[in-house]
Amino acid sequence: MDPQILQRIKNCKTLPAIPALPLQVLQMCRDDQASAQKIGDVISKDPSFVAKLLNVANSSFYGGSRHKVATVTHAVTLLGMNSISTLAFCFSLYRDLRKKGGGAFDHTHFWHRCILASLAAKLLAKRVGVVNEEEIFLAGLLQDLGILVMSEAFGNEYGILYQKANQNHHDLEALEQGRWKTDHCEIGAWLAETWELPEVLREAVRGSHNPFLASSEDEASKLMIMCVALSGRLADMWCHPQSEVAIQTAIELSEELVGVDPDGVLDLAKQIAEEIPNMSAFFQIDLGKPEEIQKVVDLLEETIKLAKMNYLPETVPPF
């Protein structure tokens, strides 16, 4: 990254900061002496998060419970330390940063894609055998954090550029590179490093557009990075202005990056569509009307049928 660009970002007084609650919960979850009761006591200081946590504990997204979960301690015990710390981080991050974004920046669309990507990342992780589903859920949410940094550091200029990209993430990266010789992936990885997040999260952010730019020493980390990169493309099926293009890209990259065939992509899309209402409730954001969500699934199914009949031309993935 150009030193002058980096300095301009460092000089920005409104850069996103890591929220206090998840930082404290993360630290406690790493402490072998911390009990569910102690963690529950800390979480209970944030009533809005408590309400969300109990909803999640009773939802299908985390398996639900045969008996209604009514206390924070029960939720911590049921979901486990990793899930609790991840949920605390995601909820607080969204709540504290959702109003960030300078001038013309469209942070509603920004968070829409981030949340769908985190959902897609978690469901994809289950399918391909990534061990830490919670870590990949967080990585999916964080992958575009650099966009918030750029919107704050470059203000209305970035907002106009974001509008020019017209909700096309591939075009956005090209516009960023053309203007500043860097992009939100590189800047997001820098911020993740300043937050002292785990290396695999930093590299997942760095490789969220092109996973081959990320460095990883083991196969598990490589698979996680591939899943995060793919999660954004899966989210684009609902967020890209041209659903047909996004669907074709998602199909091709799913096979290339993680070996998921088109029918597997359709299964994932159905799971995502089913869980979108839970994510909407948790983050308090409108992620689309049921008929709009289902329309994408139907279009994907039709696209796969046509491809099997050899009616679709071959296209080249964007990296």
Comparing C-alpha atoms, which of 267, 273, 275, 294 is closest to residue 59?
275
Comparing C-alpha atoms, which of 56, 13, 78 is closest to residue 284?
56
Domain layout of the chain by residue ranges: 17-97, 100-319
At residue 172, the 3 state secondary structure works out as helix
100-319 classified as CATH 1.10.3210.10: yes
Cβ contact 139:223 at 8 Å = no
Q: Give the position of tokens 């490093």.
A: 193
Comparing C-alpha atoms, which of 193, 179, 177, 16 is closest to residue 94?
16
Q: Give the position of tokens 């020019």.
A: 164
Comparing C-alpha atoms, which of 217, 208, 250, 220 is closest to residue 233?
250
Instruction: Output Rg (C-alpha) for the chain, integer angstroms.
Output: 19
Cβ contact 155:104 at 8 Å = no
Going by C-beta distance under 8 Å and a sequence separation of 6 or more, which residues neighbour residue 82?
Answer: 29, 132, 134, 135
The rounded distance, in Å, linking the Cα atoms of 8 and 155 is: 12
- pLDDT tens, residue order, the chain (319 aa): 888 999 999 998 888 887 777 777 777 776 777 777 787 788 888 887 788 778 777 776 665 556 688 888 888 787 777 777 777 777 777 777 776 544 567 878 888 999 999 999 999 999 998 877 778 888 999 999 999 899 989 988 998 999 999 888 889 999 999 999 999 999 999 999 998 888 888 999 999 999 998 987 788 899 999 999 999 999 999 999 899 999 999 999 999 999 999 999 999 999 999 999 988 887 888 999 999 999 999 999 999 998 888 755 555 556 6
The rounded distance, in Å, linking the Cα atoms of 113 and 276 is: 12
The rounded distance, in Å, linking the Cα atoms of 85 and 135 is: 10
Angle between the 243-258 and 219-239 helix axes, to the nearest 10 degrees? Answer: 170
At residue 67, the 3 state secondary structure works out as coil
C-alpha triplet 55, 195, 132: angle, nearest 5°: 50
- In one letter, which amino acid is 262? P
